[in-house]
Amino acid sequence: MTIDQRKKMIVLMINMFIAVASFAIVIPILPEYLMGLGEGGKAAGLIIALFAAAQFFMSPVAGKWADQYGRKKMIIAGLVFLTLSMFVFYFSNNIWIVYVSRIIGGIGAALLIPAIFAYIADITTIEQRARGNSLISASISLGIVVGPGIGGFFADFGVRAPLLASALLSVVAVLFSMIVLKESTQPTTNSRESSTDSMVKKIAQSVRKPYFIPLILTLVMSFGLLAYESVLSLFVDNQFGATPKQIALMITSTGLIGVIVQLFVVDRLVRRFGERRTLTYFLAVTTVGFLLSLFASTYTLFFVVTLFIFLATSILRPVITTLISKLAGNEQGFAMGMNNAYMSIGNVAGPVIAGIFYDVHIYSPFLLGFVVMAITTTFAFVWQRKQQRKENMHA
C-alpha cells in the first residue's frame, strides 16, 4: 500500500475500533445496570436482538446511500447515531428507553459499516482488498477485546460511568472523522435501484447478484457464531463451574486470536489459496470445531475448542467480505449493505434459536451449529468447484 492508502486505512481502523469499543465498554456493567432497572436475562437478549434487527432493516438502504451520497457522509452519520444512542442509554431510567437507544445504535451501525467497507474497496486494488478488509476486521476484534477492559476500569466510578465514557468516545470519533477523513468516491444519483425500495425488494435484488452465495455464507457464519457466543458463558458456568474471570479470559483470548490472524494470517492465506478455497477450508475447520465442542469434557478442553472456532471465523469474516467486494463491481455500497443485512439476520436468529435449544438441552445449540455448518461446508465446496470449472472453461 502507498503512504496515502495507509493513512486512510488508519483513519478507518480508528473509526471502526472506536465504534465497536464504545459499545463493548458497557458489557461489564450490563448485569448490574439491568438489575437496577428490575430486569434480567430477557432484557439482555432484547438489547442484542433489537440492535441487530435495526441494523438488518436499515443496512440495504444505508449501503445504497453510501453509493449515492458518498462514504464520508454515511460514516459520520453512522457515528452520530451511535453517539446519540449511547447518550440516550446513559440518561435512561426505563428499560423501554434503553431499547430505543439500541434501535438508534443499530441504525448507526448500519450506516457506518457498509460505508467503511465500501471505502476500503475504493482505495484498494483487487489484490489489496483482502488485506484491507482484514485490517478493519482486526480493529473490530481489538475493540471487542479492549472495550470491556475500559468499561471495567470506569465501573469503579459508578455503574453509569462506562456509558458516559462510551458516549464521549463516540463524540471523539465524530469529530475525528469530520476533520481527518476525505471522501473516497464521487457520489452518484443515477442508480437504477431506488434507495427507498422495501427490504423485501432489496433481498429479492440480492438473489440475482453474483455475490448472493457469499451473502448466504455471511448469514450462516453469523448465525453459528452468535448462537455459540450467546450460550457460551451459561454453558461453561453450568457445565464446568467457570468463574467470571475464567469466562472473561476466554472472551479476551478469542478476541486476541482474531486480531492476530486478521493482521498477519488472512492476507497470506488468500494470496496462496484464493478467497474461495480459503473459504471452504475454514468453513470445514469451523464445522470440526462445533463437533469437538460436543466432546469437550473439561473447561480447558472447551477453551481450546473455542479458540479453534474463533480462529476459523476470524479468517472467514474478512475473506467473505473480500469475495463479495470483488464480485460487486461498481455497487460496493449496496453489496456491503446487503452483507451487513444478511449478517444481521444471523445475529438476530442465532441467539434466539440457541437460547430456545439451550433450554431443551445444554448441548443442543452446539449440535445445531455442527449440523448447519456441515451442510453449509458441503454446499460451499460444491459451489467452489462449479465456479472453478466456469473459470477453466473461459480460460
Residue 188 covered by a domain = no
- CA distance linking residue 302 with residue 212, whole number of Å: 34
Residue 389 covered by a domain = yes
Cβ-contact 333, 64 below 8 angstroms:
yes
Residues 141 and 261 occupy one common structural domain = no
Q: How many contiguous H segments (helices) and E segments (strands) does the chain have?
A: 15, 0
Q: What is the pLDDT of residue 221?
A: 86
Place of cell 500500500: 1
Place of cell 477453551: 303
Cβ-contact 46, 99 below 8 angstroms:
yes
Spell out the long-range contacts of 31-34 with Cβ–Cβ below 8 A and sequence spacing 24 or more: 32/159, 33/159, 33/160, 33/163, 34/95
Residues 167 and 232 occupy one common structural domain = no
3-class secondary structure, 239: helix
Cβ-contact 80, 174 below 8 angstroms:
yes
Residue 105 covered by a domain = yes
Residue 277 covered by a domain = yes
Tabulate helix, strand, coil % of the chain (nearest 5).
85, 0, 15
Residue 374 covered by a domain = yes
Residue 285 covered by a domain = yes
Write down the pTM of the prediction: 0.71
Residues 31 and 114 occupy one common structural domain = yes
Range of the domain at 23: 1-182
**Does 192 score more than 50 pLDDT?**
no
- CA distance linking residue 394 with residue 35, whole number of Å: 62
Residue 197 covered by a domain = no
Residues 281 and 390 occupy one common structural domain = yes
Residues 176 and 294 occupy one common structural domain = no
Q: What is the pLDDT of residue 376?
A: 92
pLDDT tens column, 87-121:
998 898 888 998 999 899 889 988 988 888 888 88
Residues 161 and 274 occupy one common structural domain = no
- Structural domain count of the chain: 2
Residues 31 and 158 occupy one common structural domain = yes
Stretch 197-210: mean pLDDT, rounded?
78
Residues 23 and 154 occupy one common structural domain = yes
Residues 41 and 169 occupy one common structural domain = yes
Residues 138 and 239 occupy one common structural domain = no
Residues 169 and 267 occupy one common structural domain = no
- CA distance linking residue 4 with residue 332, whole number of Å: 21
How many residues comprise the chain? 395
Residues 246 and 390 occupy one common structural domain = yes
Q: What is the pLDDT of residue 285?
A: 94
Q: Which of 90, 71, 76 is nearest to 23 (CA)?
A: 90
Residue 254 covered by a domain = yes
Among residues 126, 147, 182, the one where a domain terminates is 182
The amino acid at residue 60 is P
For the chain, the straight-line distance linking the first and the last C-alpha, in angstroms and rounded, comes to 29
pLDDT tens column, 314-369:
899 888 988 888 888 777 777 877 887 888 788 778 877 887 788 788 899 899 99
CATH code for the domain of 354 = 1.20.1250.20
- CA distance linking residue 221 with residue 372, whole number of Å: 9
